[in-house]
Amino acid sequence: MGPPPFRCATTVDDQSGLGFFETDFTKMDGFVALKTTDQTGLQNVKVSVDSRNSDNSGKKLVAPAAGTSGSPVSKVTSVTEGSTSSPSEIKRFESSKTSILYKGARLPVGWKSYSTVIIYEGDNVRPSEKIAAFDFDGTLVDTHVAIHGADAWKLLYRTVPEKLAFFHHEGYKLVIFTNESNIDWWSKKRQAAIDSKLGRLKGLMKLAKVPMQVFIACGKSNTNDIFRKPSTGMWHLLEQHFNAGRIIDKERSFYVGDAAGRKNDHSAADFEFAKTLGLKFLLPENVFTITTPNPLDSTQGRSFRLLRLSESVTSSGSGGDDANLEESVETQDVPHV
């Protein structure tokens, strides 16, 4: 006996004459029996129709992303301008409430959005109790704020692929947490902003040849967006919903970032992010310029300086990054791998 027939209810908009689907695809008879490619095709049809309806009615209907990691899509969600999530929203998160669009802009295959976050789970990414987490710009790659485009980047250190591969083979799950407010600021060029940021991330992952998970906080600064670093919403999404239920061992995990609150740093967002979560914090130069296979080996057995935020750290003045830090540092043992 073949699969049950697929039945879909549609209506026609009285003003535009355009047809649109009123019912969630995944709840229709026979949907689960369709091939994955057919399911995706139907969702893309709905996205196309929704986009036309949005132009006529001013309403944005966002089709759900195809389920990943075995989680079926069962609901449609709408992402509106200026939306933010509360901590309770993180707990209520369902993979079915993700979208293949971000505020009207299309995401590449494999990427999805939830609230003000764009997420990539990646091929062959496996859950782990050990997380090697990284910022992106200024940590893994060198970019310029005034230059845009998917190819407008280069490795910050030539050893980045080698070190990422080392951590992957040691059983760490590689995760990128990055802020990108341009995606929300560029309301009229949002697709270009998304293509630029995601293109750079995809370029790095292709070069590194290791599975990585990505979380992009798109919210604007000074909006109290709980996903934008130094807020910890992206980590909690990983911890509660994107690690297959595996409990993360923070003592064996760490975070690498360049925004450490030093005199020449643009902010202290990375340091505050790690500190709030209780993660070991490392600077990029202390990971990617180490010549040993394990970049953590050279610091084992002695203390490693972490910046303690204070006026003397973030105040302006002359000197290098470490100037006037003697009273503004604390020591902490670097974890064993």
Q: Read off the pLDDT band of 311 (50, 70, 90).
A: very low
Report how far residue 128's alpha carbon sits from residue 173's, in angstroms, rounded to the nearest whole number.
6
For tokens 């196309």, the residue is 48
Q: How far is CA 97 from the centre of its chain?
A: 16
Q: Are residues 15 and 135 in the same domain?
A: no
Q: Answer yes or no: is pLDDT of 159 > 60.
A: yes
Handedness of CA 156, 161, 162, 167 (dihedral sign): positive
pLDDT of res. 332: 38
Same domain, 74 and 155: no
pLDDT digits (tens, 9 = 90+) for 223-256: 899 999 999 999 999 999 999 999 999 999 999 9
* Nearest alpha carbon to residue 254 among 156, 139, 155: 139
What is residue 143's three-state secondary structure?
coil
State the DSSP string of 90-131: HHT--GGG-BSEETTEEPPTTEEEETTEEEE--TT----S-E
pLDDT category at 113 given cuts 50, 70, 90 is very high
- Residues 60 and 112 reside in one and the same domain: no
Are residues 52 and 143 both part of a single domain?
no
Same domain? 13 vs 130:
no
Q: What is the pLDDT of residue 43?
A: 55
What total number of domains does the chain contain? Answer: 2
Tell me which of 46, 81, 116 is where a domain ends.
Answer: 81
Distance CA 101, CA 85 (A): 17
Contact call for residues 226 and 233 (beta carbons, < 8 A): yes
Work out the average pLDDT over 144-156.
91
pTM passes above 0.95: no
CA 273 to chain centre: 14
Residues counted in the chain: 337
User: Residue 286 domain-assigned?
Assistant: yes
Q: What percent of the chain stands above pLDDT 70?
A: 60
CATH number at residue 158: 3.40.50.1000
Secondary element (H or E) of residue 87: helix 87-91
Give Cβ neighbours of residue 253 (< 8 Å, ≥ 6 apart): 130, 131, 132, 133, 172, 279, 280
Higher-scoring residue by pLDDT: 239, 291: 239
More confident residue, 178 or 326: 178
pLDDT at 270 over 70: yes
pLDDT beyond 60 at 3: no
Structural domain ending residue among the three candidates 27, 49, 81: 81
Per the prediction, the chain carries an average pLDDT of 74
87 part of a folded domain: no
pLDDT value, residue 94 = 74
CA–CA separation, 306 and 280 (whole Å): 9
Look at residue 12 and tell me if it is in a domain: yes
CA dist., res. 272 & res. 205, Å (int)? 26
Asked if residue 281 is part of any domain, the answer here is yes
Q: Of the residues 81, 115, 136, which one is the last residue of a structural domain?
A: 81
Query: Higher model confidence: residue 49 or residue 200?
Result: 200
In a domain, 66, yes or no: yes
The token pair at 119 is 């997420």
76 and 221 in a common domain: no
Does residue 90 fall inside a structural domain?
no
Tell me the per-residue pLDDT of 31-87, one tens digit each, with 9 for 90 and over: 445 555 554 555 554 544 444 444 444 443 333 343 333 332 222 232 333 334 456
The answer as to whether 92 is a domain residue is no
Q: Which domain holds residue 71?
A: 1-81
